Amino acid sequence: MNTTEIQKLPDAAAATQAMQQLDELLTMLGEQPDKRFIKTNKYANNAEYLPIGYIEAKLDQIFRGMWKLEIVNQQQVANGYVVSVRLSVYNWVANLWLVRDGIGAKAFEMEKGAHPTDFTKINAKGIEKIVPIAKAEAFKNAVKSLGNIFGRNLNREFKHGHAPDKRVKEIIEGPINA
């Protein structure tokens, strides 16, 4: 192997510090969201959700505004609209962009009493509502995968968070009594 191909490994102190910072970030992402901002959707079996404004503010706070949302695909499917997005957040500890994909859908609004596949009865003004709703649902789907703080465990029986590994120094430097 050529010596120019060998990357310098960080020293143990720097690696330990980086792992501790990652643990802090994962702990923050693993916290439950502030109960004051959890809303209930009475039209979806009282499912809990977080408003978009809260999610965007938390992304700004945690990632210092270093996040972006890209629409990857959007299309009509049967009697609705589907949007796929890609959320990227900058992880300042690892010095890289984390990417999460999400998908959201919303059914077309139909005239009262119309069959769902009778496309001549689609409410023309309804399209203005359903496309942004599908995009918002895709965004929320993507952001939930970052952690509990964004609603990952809302409506789940199993609730978990991040437990930092107290042996970080030993993992990096080797056993103390070695």
pLDDT in tens, 119-178: 788 887 777 889 999 999 999 999 999 999 999 999 887 666 555 566 555 555 555 554
Q: How confident is the model at residue 3 (pLDDT cuts 50, 70, 90)?
A: very low
Tokens of 160: 């978990």
Report the sign of the C-alpha dihedral through residues 89, 92, 93, 94, in that order: positive
- Mean model confidence pLDDT for the chain: 85
The pLDDT value given to residue 1: 44
Token pair 């465990």: residue: 153
Higher pLDDT, 59 or 17: 59
Q: What integer is the mean pLDDT of 33-38?
A: 95
Q: How confident is the model at residue 14 (pLDDT cuts 50, 70, 90)?
A: confident
Q: From CA 30, how far away is CA 51, in angstroms rounded?
A: 18
pTM reported for the whole predicted model:
0.78
Ordered by where they begin, the domains of the chain are 12-157 (3.30.390.80)
- The per-residue pLDDT for range 125-139, each reduced to its tens digit, is 777 889 999 999 999
